[in-house]
Amino acid sequence: MYAMGKVKMAASEFIAREGLSNSKVMKMKSLRNGGGEMGGFLLWQKRPDLWCLELVVSGCKISAGSDGKVAWRQTPWHHSHASRGPPRPLRRSLQGLDPRSTAKLFCNSICTAEKTVNDEDCFVLTLEAESSILRARSNGNVQIIRHIVWGYFSQRTGLLVKLEDSHLIRIKGPGNESVCWETTMESLIQDYQTIDGVNIAHGGRTCVSLLRSGENSEGHSRTRMEEVWTIEEVDFNIKGLSTDCFLPPGDLKKEEEGCSAITSVVATGNARLPFKIRATSSRLGVAKCVVKVVAIEEDDLENIEVDEELKI
């Protein structure tokens, strides 16, 4: 499969300190008010665990991929890193681009409710990672506490119209200090069109909330990101798409500690970002938010196992 699309992102960050009245707020205009940064993405996929994605927003390029054996990510301000565990499908593919992977994800789910989304009566299917799976993906410094996924499927068409997930991890720092990261993501999936007999979503909106709180610290920070995307081109059965197209970068480094990318990139704020990115505040808002989401998502943020582990 080949897919190309446009994205528009906006981000905001709130940092609260107990005992201080001057809490820091970095905010951008919401997408509904005409704010945000424009960008685009290109996705190639040969099978669910063989894919390559390039995302460019405001001149900042982030790449990720899987060669069927290892999943990796690459940013301009950080070396290439491999994700822990076996490679898994990409969340963006599940947002209406790959119905087969979506069906496989929810094949063992439980119907927990019925709700209306955008005037569509939906069944709510729920998946929750078992404790054994969470322990398997944790290590000495990183504890995955929970991961739950909800899929809202239209009772009329059977198509996925909304995807939600919630993920909580705890990272041990120096001494006895621990930092908790709670991430919630909500995607509305719209504009289904038939391509070669397959219903493919051509638009949608995703909202991400990333909450950082230290168990022994004096405050917390919350980052929010909003993305609107549209699909411009989709095609199947691409000729000449060999496995060589999905080879990882040459500077790939294995993450032995799993979430060291989080502690080295996210915890240091913008200290590791290049000067050209730090020099522009509006771009910094998106760049910092994207790297936070990607750094965690590609490693330990969104990993759940049904028949096989899935990267959302």
pLDDT digits (tens, 9 = 90+) for 134-144: 777 777 788 88
pLDDT digits (tens, 9 = 90+) for 201-212: 999 999 999 888
Neighbouring CB atoms inside 10 A of 306's CB total 16
Least confident interval from 115-119, 154-158, 249-253 = 249-253
Say what the pLDDT of residue 159 is.
95
Does position 39 have pLDDT exceeding 60, yes or no? yes
User: Model-level pTM?
Assistant: 0.75
Higher pLDDT, 266 or 133: 133
Paired sense of beta strands 71-75 and 60-67, if any: antiparallel
For the chain, what are the domain ranges? 2-311
Does position 311 have pLDDT exceeding 50, yes or no? no
Hey, what are 180's tokens?
Answer: 């908790």
Q: Are 65 and 83 in contact (CB under 8 A)?
A: no
Give the whole-number percent of the chain exceeding pLDDT 90.
Answer: 32
Mean pLDDT of 71-99: 78
Rounded CA separation 293/75 (Å):
12
Say what the pLDDT of residue 29 is.
54
Does position 54 have pLDDT exceeding 80, yes or no? yes
Give the pLDDT band (50/70/90) at residue 43. very high
CA dist 195 → 17, 30, 57, 265 (Å): 51, 32, 27, 40
Most confident of 82-86, 184-188, 222-226, 264-268: 184-188
DSSP assigned state of 302: T
Does position 115 have pLDDT exceeding 70, yes or no? yes
Per-residue HEC secondary structure of 149-198 comes to: EEEEEECCCCCEEEEEEEEEEEEECCCCCEEEEEEEEEEEEEEEEEECCE
Say what the pLDDT of residue 290 is.
52
Give the pLDDT band (50/70/90) at residue 85. low
